[in-house]
Structure 1
Amino acid sequence: MSRRGTTEKQIEKPDPIYRNRLVNLLVNRILRNGKKSLAYRILYGAMRNIRRATKKNPLSVLRQAVRRVTPNVTVKARRVGGSTYQVPIEIESSQGKALAIRWLLVASKKRPGRNMAFKLSYELIDAARDNGNAVRKREETHRMAEANRAFAHFR
């Protein structure tokens, strides 16, 4: 650890159209090989598809999807006395949000479909309705943490 103290968290800038930090976080996770304009095109296409499919504000659907996928606890491998235990730990909201975004993108990439915008839009819609692979991943993580609650004292 640094002796100089902790650094201040950098605040993400909002995106140009929706003026939302969450959208910018998602764009930065979609980003591949520095092609940010392509990442914006994918996300804005997904937002258009969400508006067409649900007739709701796509930003509220996105927020609800991320909220439904965000985990409260996760498990961390801890080695104690030659054996490895899955120790449940509580995570803060920023880390939970990052995990949720990652899970949403992984789940949408695994979906069958035409292009990434369609896959992402339908994964976000499913997550907002509390089903889909990303929500299943969160439930699986919570189940694993609950099953290993006996090892919580190894924290």
Structure 2
Amino acid sequence: MRKVRKKVKNYFPDPKFNDSLVTRFVNHLMKNGKKNVAYKIFYNAMNKINEIKEKEEKSALEIWKEGLKNVMPHIEVRSRRMGGSNIQVPVPISSNSKITKAIKLLISCASIRNEKTMANKLAFEIWAAFQEQGEAVKRKENIHKMAEANKAFSHFRF
């Protein structure tokens, strides 16, 4: 086999929620190796979500996980050279890649929002994703639309 299988990374659980998915999210949120700053941003966003939720009985962490699940794409398109042209081939995504893509979508869409602090941006984007609204959910739907449009080429899978 030409391709070498990637090693599965093990993440230590975070100090507050004792969840390894939070650590993974914070690692993507982190810039220039400043993990404490990334943790502060995430925990402040969770506190803001606790303030935002009105009649919701779920905790902020459950809202975040539900929002992450709503942003998670299940299929993507990859370019493949066939003859003289490039075609977009829809390919299902592995579970590990789904989580990574959802995290990156959520963070990138939060960073372009108009709120003042990154914690507020992240909190409002998570809340929008929880309600299946917002930019991150739109981008996920665009990915799925591209795959649906190129369904005819699905037999060219890698």
Residues 80-134 of structure 1: CA distance to partner in whole angstroms, max 9, x if unpaired? 1120111100011110110000000010001001110000000000000000000
Partner of 1:20: 19
Counterpart code for 2:73: P
- Map 1:1-155; keep pairs closer than 5 Å: 6=5, 8-55=7-54, 56-155=58-157
Query: Deviations 1:26-49 (Å, cap 9, x if unpaired)?
Result: 100011001111000100110000
Q: TM-score, normalised by structure 1?
A: 0.94
Gaps of 5+ in 1: none
Q: What is the alpha-carbon distance in structure 1 between the residues aligned to residue 136 and residue 106 of structure 2?
A: 5
Could you tell me how far apart the structure 2 residues matched to 1:50 and 1:73 are? Answer: 29
Q: Which runs of 5+ in 2 are unaligned?
A: none
CA RMSD of aligned residues (A): 1.5
The separation in 1 between residues aligned to 2:9 and 2:103, in whole angstroms, is: 18
Identity between Structure 1 and Structure 2 (%): 38
- Return the alpha-carbon distance in structure 2 between the equivalents of residues 8 and 80 of structure 1: 31
**Equivalences, count:** 154
> For 2:14, what is the secondary structure of its paired residue?
coil
**Shift in CA distance, 7/110, structure 1 to aligned 2, threshold 3 Å:** closer
SS of equivalent to 1:22:
helix
Write the distance in 1 (CA, Å) between the matches of 2:6 and 2:142.
Answer: 33
Rounded Cα–Cα distance in structure 1 between residues aligned with 2:135 and 2:145: 15
Distance 1:88 1:18 in 2: 36
- State the Cα distance separating 1:69 from its structure 2 match: 0.5
